[in-house]
Amino acid sequence: MLGKLILIVEDEPAIRQMIAFALRRSGFEIREAVDARQAREALANQRPDLILIDWMLPDTSGLELTRILKRDRHTCELPIIMLTARAEEGDKVTGLETGADDYVTKPFSPRELVARIHAVLRRAGAGGLDHIVEFEALKLDQQGQRITVSGQTVPLGPTEYRMLEFFMTHPERVFSRDQLLDRLWGGNVYVEERTIDVHVRRLRKSLEKFGVDRFVQTVRGSGYRFSAKAD
């Protein structure tokens, strides 16, 4: 599985750190925000796979933030789990139809939280977030785990497939080798940065046979970018 990125929005440092620690240990990548403003900044920077939002936040409440995100067409598909302090708040979350995909009542065990996250991510995956992504003749079928060009399957190794899947679902953005390592290998410290270059080379070679290698672009001094535009 790719190292899924979770954004934690929680103002209490002790709880935020506890969650971050537990999720990292379960192989997730973490971004942290202490309030709605920071959360929106983080979202503008990098799209997470799921957001954990605490009900009690200093300025905009977690409930309000959830509503805002679910109304915005850029973020409405992002799965959200709300953290609530009391069972009554949890009842309100479900009752108010904020759009939160699930809620977890404090105190919760890290194991419970991780299980809920997996469940919501699975649901999100089955519910249409896994889809077909196309750039001209190049087509990614996430359900079938297949890449085709004009209907012909492009033979790819598992790492090259994961890399291209990541690129195609995060187009027009530059990723450093370090970021790619993080997202594709879950921050495994035993994988070196030049490994990225090796896999990019292999990926390009496979795509070259189908005339679509130009999509995978080197950004000098920065890293790599998948782009349908001219280099």
Tokens of 197: 């270059």
Minimum separation from the CB atom of position 62 to Ca ion (A): 8
Cis peptide before 107 (omega within 30 of 0): yes
Task: Residue 40: name the closest of 12, 7, 71, 63 by CA.
Answer: 7
Nearer to Ca ion, 12 or 134 (CB): 12
* Interface pick for Ca ion out of 18, 34, 56, 149 (rule CB under 5 A): 56
In the complex, minimum distance from the CB of residue 174 to Ca ion, in angstroms, rounded to a whole number:
34
Instruction: Supply the angle between the helices 36-45 and 62-71 in degrees, to the nearest 10.
Output: 30
Radius of gyration of the chain (CA): 19
Q: Nearest distance from residue 36's CB to Ca ion, in Å?
A: 12
In total, the chain counts a number of residues equal to: 231
Per CB under 5 A, 64 contacts Ca ion: no
Alpha helices in 98-192 (DSSP H): 110-124, 158-169, 177-185
For Ca ion, which is the closer residue by CB, 9 or 203? 9
Instruction: Considering only the C-alpha atoms of the chain, give the largest distance between any 2 of them, rounded to a whole number of Å.
Output: 59
Asked whether position 32 contacts Ca ion by CB under 5 A, the answer is no
Residue 89 binding Ca ion, by CB under 5 A: no
* Contact range with Ca ion by CB under 5 A, out of 5-13, 90-98, 118-126, 220-228: 5-13
Residue 54 in the binding site for Ca ion (CB under 5 A): yes
Instruction: Name the residue nearer to Ca ion (CB basis): 5 or 9.
Output: 9
Asked if 11 is part of the footprint of Ca ion (rule: CB under 5 A), the reply reads yes
- Select the span of 6-14, 38-46, 94-102, 162-170 touching Ca ion (CB under 5 A): 6-14
Q: What share of the chain is helix, strand, coil (3-state, %, to 5)?
A: 45, 20, 35
- Number of residues located near Ca ion, criterion CB under 5 A: 4
* H or E element in which residue 102 lies: strand 102-105
Q: Which residues bind Ca ion (CB under 5 A)?
A: 11-12, 54, 56
